Structure 1
Amino acid sequence: MDKKEFRNCMGRFATGVTVVTTETEGVTHGFTVNSFTSVSLDPPIVLVSVDKNAKALQAMKHNNFIANVLNENQRDTAMHFAGKPKEQLPFEWEETGLGARIKGSLAHIECVPWAEYDGGDHVLFLGEVKAFEYHPGQPLAFYCGQFSNVSPLVQS
């Protein structure tokens, strides 16, 4: 199977963009993720998929994390955590009981570790949701390898 073509095929599935933050030894780490999903409502569990070669992998192991769902105006924040940092931070931090989150995000999902699973070239981290918050606005989307916007459908 051609890995590049499989990736192109999977890129046809539009996703939201999140930055996952976690803290180790008093330092906040973050990375941009589009492999994020809800797994269970009872108990509330979410999943984050992390590449085994990612620097963030060790920071995620057995650790609390916060999924920051980005809004359409946070492209610079997404790029900052995707390895293209800006000289001046394009976001502000907010402290919570489980770590730091990105101020102004569309939603915050704060989690404690639930389980980890091998997922081929990724590790699947499941987190039990301990707190969440969401705000009105439009999400930052990712489609066919680039950022995109979501337009609500007009009800007929």
Structure 2
Amino acid sequence: MILYLLLVHQGSNGTFAIQLAKDIGCKISASASRNNHDYMKSLGVTKAVDYHDSDWVEQVLEWMPGGVDAAIAIQPNTSMASMKLVKDGGKVISVSGDQFTTQRNIKAVYFPYNMDVKEELMGIIDKIVCGEINITIENVYDFDDGLDALEKVRTRRARGKSIIKIK
């Protein structure tokens, strides 16, 4: 089995990425605020770093001196920082929409939003139903408070999913 070393920039989408990566045998580092470290470790993260720390890049490189095989840049403006952590010839996968120039023979993979993911999505749904992947519901909003839900999502500090109840 190949062990991939992966950096994930945490967020509500990051919680899925962590669990999916763990499921295929990856060793995972993730960046998030310190109060989310235990939560991330419960999902499968080996090395958690606080993106507020000025030396978080160095912390990941201490954990994995040669760099990680791949990084998933979920949050906007994280692709270039991820590039510093990926070893020569690795990959930076941009889900954030960042456009960036690669270095050191690193491959940039831009997540195509228009691709057909029906089969993969059904597999993820099966894992959720079987309890292999957990969904954290952070907030449930009444329909009339939908703008509050949108505002929470825009903070990019979501730990889980926000749900709007339709009456």
Q: Give the TM interval when normalised to the shorter protein.
A: under 0.3
TM-score by length of 2: 0.19
> Which structure would you say has the larger RCO, counting Cα contacts within 8 Å and 6 or more residues apart?
1
TM-score by length of 1: 0.19
Which is richer in strand? 1
